[in-house]
Structure 1
Amino acid sequence: MDSGAIRRWLALGVTVLTASGLLALASPGSAQAATSYCSGRKVRTLPFSTGSVQVFKRTGYVCAVTFPKTHGARKSMSVSVQARGGRPVVDRGQFAHHAGPVTVHVGHRCVRIKGSVGSGSVDSGWILC
């Protein structure tokens, strides 16, 4: 192999590594993180000004996780899931990456999801009926 061929192979290798690194940075981290916290399929994303709540459902259960728009410093976050006729299950505190997961057995009842990050919040009302 001559030196020109070696340079071309090295350039190709650097290009592939750079492209894979950029794709890894561009992929949505919160969606991948939520799937590791909640089992089942994602049924809703509830966006709000300072973050979002991702909602997952599997046979008879609903799971929710709140993610901030910006990660890093600890901030006040919460997530709650309430089956109709039951009490809400809440995770609230100062978190850097997420609040939750919170999982509730809902059977075939409607569910209410709430989430907040700092001053922003969302309330789904009764959904998944």
Structure 2
Amino acid sequence: MFELWRKPGSGAGLAPVRPPVRGSVRVPPRGPGAGRWAAGLTAAAAVALALVVPGAQPASAASGCPGHEVRSVGFTTGRLQVYRTGQYVCAVTLARKPGARRQMSVQLQVRGGRPVSDSGRFTRLAGPVRVRAVNRCVRAVGAVSGKKGASGWFLC
């Protein structure tokens, strides 16, 4: 797939360097040429990702929360998004029109526990906040500029 070039010990020409192959998995080289091999691999991965879906990002990348979206609540000035991955639930509040700093908050609570929140003056999003929620109900509240949206209890 990729060939790296190095100068042979005594000759003036260039000779290809191929990493050793064990089974069907290529083992990266060690030593002075290893950085070029990793850089080539990184560039190839970036090109491959760009070719899959140009301009598209997973929703979790835009929000900062891992996992898949389980609840989304829109309100006049923003959107509350809740994600789940394994035993954890994560929430963020996104401003409908990012730009100027304004008061924003996000709060996530497991039934029977204390709420975890993030609030302040932000331009785009408040959060992420994360709680461990194994077999427990969860509720989330998000607010932007005094307007809020709440999920109610879910994941029960």
TM-score computed with the length of structure 1 as normaliser: 0.73
| Number of residue pairs matched by the alignment | 103
Q: What's the counterpart of residue 101 of structure 2?
A: 74
Q: Which runs of 4+ in 1 moved over 6 A?
A: 27-31
Q: Does 1:123 align with 2:150?
A: yes
Alignment CA distance shift 1:121-1:103 (3 Å): same
CA deviation map 1:69-128 (0-9, x unaligned): 101100000001000000000001000010000000011100010000002101211111
Q: Give per-residue Cα distances to partners, 1:10-67, cap 9 Å, x unaligned.
A: xxxxxxxxxxxxx85xx79976511xx1111111111111100111001111000100
CA gap 1:40/1:62 in 2 versus in 1, 3 angstroms: same
> In the superposition, relative to structure 1, how do residues 48 and 80 fare at CA in structure 2: closer, same or farther (>3 Å)?
same
The separation in 2 between residues aligned to 1:64 and 1:47, in whole angstroms, is 13
**Which amino acid is 2:110 matched to?**
A
> Structure 1: any 5+ residue segments left out of the alignment?
1-22
Distance in 2, matches of 1:109 and 1:44, equals 16
- Who wins on radius of gyration, i.e. which is larger? 2
Are the aligned partners of 2:69 and 2:84 in contact in 1 as well (CA < 8 Å)?
yes
Match of 1:98 in 2: 125
Conservation of the 8 A alpha-carbon contact between 1:112 and 1:126? yes
Match of 1:56 in 2: 83
When the two structures are superposed, what TM-score results if normalisation uses the length of structure 2? 0.61
Q: Which residue of 2 aligns with 1:15?
A: none
Q: Does residue 1:111 correspond to 2:125, yes or no?
A: no
Structure 1 position 44 matched with structure 2 position 71: yes
Q: CA RMSD in A?
A: 1.9
Whether 1:33 aligns to 2:65 is no
Unmatched segments (≥5 aa) in structure 2: 1-53
Q: Which has the higher helix share?
A: 1
Q: What is the aligned-residue identity percentage?
A: 47
Give the counterpart letter for 2:85 in structure 1: R
Structure 1 letter corresponding to 2:99: G
The alpha-carbon distance between structure 1 residues 56 and 39, as it changes in their structure 2 partners (threshold 3 A), is same
